[in-house]
Structure 1
């Protein structure tokens, strides 16, 4: 990215755009050419507020941080190593951009992260514009692939567990096997979509001994991309086990599935705390002292929300349903987009008057 600076500057000088998106050195360049710079964050406001506020320390909430629940705990130590690398390599770049841009914009909404957005506005003394989650229109997407729609059709409503851990997570072989065995231990049909573990070229070569024979027909482990939102929308899917990346977080909220969190990286931990402890719409898989999960803890977390007699399952389902009802209320999310565009237009008009 840094090597493109001369090319970007030449384009800005020639085109004089109205606005410019974010790289940490763009605000400095934009001011030189009287161009307004807008930092558009596609990670959660929660993570920005906790980890990228002025004076932040590794894993420690900054002064005035607006939540006593969305925090790192002792058992989250496994994520702090990745966060430490982020601090060494990217913290200065990110905070430089936040401090020097004219406007901060965020892919979120007040109903979910409002107090974190307000905190960021105070910390950086910048206007914060929200776009909403910017999810694709499901009516305009391709239909679910036949192999999945046909397979899922063979199960009763809300009975299938779908697990996906995103494109960033590559498990160790033993943890991949623990994940497979934990899903098997639930006794429920499942679709597990993860990358092959470290040291394996394919999913099949890394599966636990005898696993394929034991789960044949009712369970699938898949090592390639899947249409996650469409799978979540299928009536047979009743539970989503997720790493709680920010995109997956929104997709889980917009579904009717029970939500189980298995986070790995720093921002995923904070997203999980937001969902599990602040909003109480999901449960988190407990970690061992080593920082890893066990097949028993994974299975127990899934069963805790899938058991129809579970008090915890009933609680998170009610809270999830209430929040989803708000998010899907007519015009709510599109109004965020409309207001965002209107705010940018007003900003340009004000700039032109100057």
Structure 2
């Protein structure tokens, strides 16, 4: 342990993320980085989720899990613990169960008495933290450009309407978001703004967490998203602390032979890799259209997608004749893939990503060309940050209703893979320049050290 790390007082941090692996996992990555520096972490999560993330813990002597029993609701499937266990329409019911863990959470935290409680999606946490004498840190795992875009422009967050969300708030940094919303994006905003079973919309839930916390924290660099962090700091009049992207170290293990044996059949930088995360489950017709788009682009491809709605396997959903036509150059895989190691393989030349924040960072820190296919609101904001402001990627064009045609996915891939195209050269140059800045030696470590010093300052 270096001197800069050992001189700080040991902190005790409690983590209480939303019950989704896309939230639990980044909280665990930060927990590992804090424990690496000698700080203690108490991690509250659903009991059913613990076995699935236990292997991520690098410092079991300093990180302790506190499993929560998720209340049984008749509207939820038996043993539903996370968003992975439910279809999207039941999100509100899981939020209700999430809120009903409050007595368990209060009992555990009262006995622990941590210095800090990191949370999201629980607007009641700041009051509980303050009762215990702890500081409440709203740790947001999406791009800060998203909450900055939705800062309340009315006295109360619950008074905000969908029409309000469609206008840029006063003073918002140079826009990376198109002001002309398509139908499917307006539909997303309506879901975001309506109550979810708990008589509280997702927007109000998130915004009250930002308002009531002692500080906001984001997993980014100032060099990447500084204007949005400054905007939030000014609007909420409180500290905005940055951890850096806090991606896990690349595994010491090598890429499994089943992947390398297949990827080594192709020339350097020619394979298109696609993954949309575990939460994005496509309808069968859209799934088939995407596969036909990969076939149409003419490049070798490795696609890792969940089986679509109503299908037990990805193979069951293949278009007629697809498997035979792409044999040898296309592989569609329905299970978990070691994404970080795959993106590092020299044969991979393009990453087609849903722009989940972790995947977005992994793509940015790779040497691949980037094609964005966002599905949710924060992913759309992240995609347009990369496409329109930073110009390091292209976005697949959708129809007004959100449909992605095989022609549009193929066109986007070809536009960045054709070395002679103007857009390919532009995004490659900008991406390489940004990557060089973001991978400056020791940068992530300096951010973490400063982050911890700032936490110490909140205790003074």
Distance 1:290 1:82, change over 3 A: closer
Structure-2 residue corresponding to 1:187? 298
Alignment of 1:50-89 (within 5 A): 50-53=149-152, 55=154, 57-71=164-178, 73-75=180-182, 77-88=183-194, 89=201
Residue 267 (structure 2) pairs with residue 156 (structure 1): yes
Contact 1:195 1:223 in 2 (8 A): yes
Distance 1:152 1:73 in 2: 41
TM-score (norm 1): 0.94
Distance 1:171 1:72, change over 3 A: farther
* Alpha-carbon offset, residue 42 of structure 1: 0.7
Residue ranges of structure 2 left out of the alignment (5+ in a row): 1-97, 155-159, 195-200
* Alpha-carbon offset, residue 277 of structure 1: 0.3
Structure-2 residue corresponding to 1:145? 256
Distance 1:50 1:175, change over 3 A: same
* Alpha-carbon offset, residue 27 of structure 1: 0.7
Contact 1:53 1:123 in 2 (8 A): no
Distance 2:187 2:255 in 1: 38
Residue ranges of structure 1 left out of the alignment (5+ in a row): none
Alignment of 1:235-314 (within 5 A): 235-314=346-425
* Alpha-carbon offset, residue 125 of structure 1: 0.8
Structure-2 residue corresponding to 1:7? 104
Deviates more, 1:282-291 or 1:239-248: 282-291
Deviates more, 1:309-318 or 1:55-64: 55-64
Distance 2:342 2:308 in 1: 23
Residue 230 (structure 2) pairs with residue 118 (structure 1): yes
Which one of 197, 201, 204 corresponds to residue 308 of structure 2?
Answer: 197
Distance 1:305 1:21, change over 3 A: same
Residue 323 (structure 2) pairs with residue 323 (structure 1): no
User: RMSD of the alignment, in Å?
Assistant: 1.5
Contact 1:83 1:265 in 2 (8 A): no
Contact 1:70 1:278 in 2 (8 A): no
Size of the aligned set, in residue pairs, is 347
Structure-2 residue corresponding to 1:332? 443
Q: Which has the higher contact order (CA 8 A, sep 6+)?
A: 1
Which one of 188, 194, 212 corresponds to residue 100 of structure 1?
Answer: 212
Distance 1:224 1:184 in 2: 20
Over residues 247-278 of structure 1, what are the superposed CA-to-partner deviations in whole Å (9 max), with x where a residue is unaligned? 11100100000001111111111111000000
Secondary structure of residue in 2 paired with 1:292? coil
Distance 1:40 1:291 in 2: 30
Residue 215 (structure 2) pairs with residue 109 (structure 1): no
Distance 1:228 1:54, change over 3 A: farther
Secondary structure of residue in 2 paired with 1:104? strand
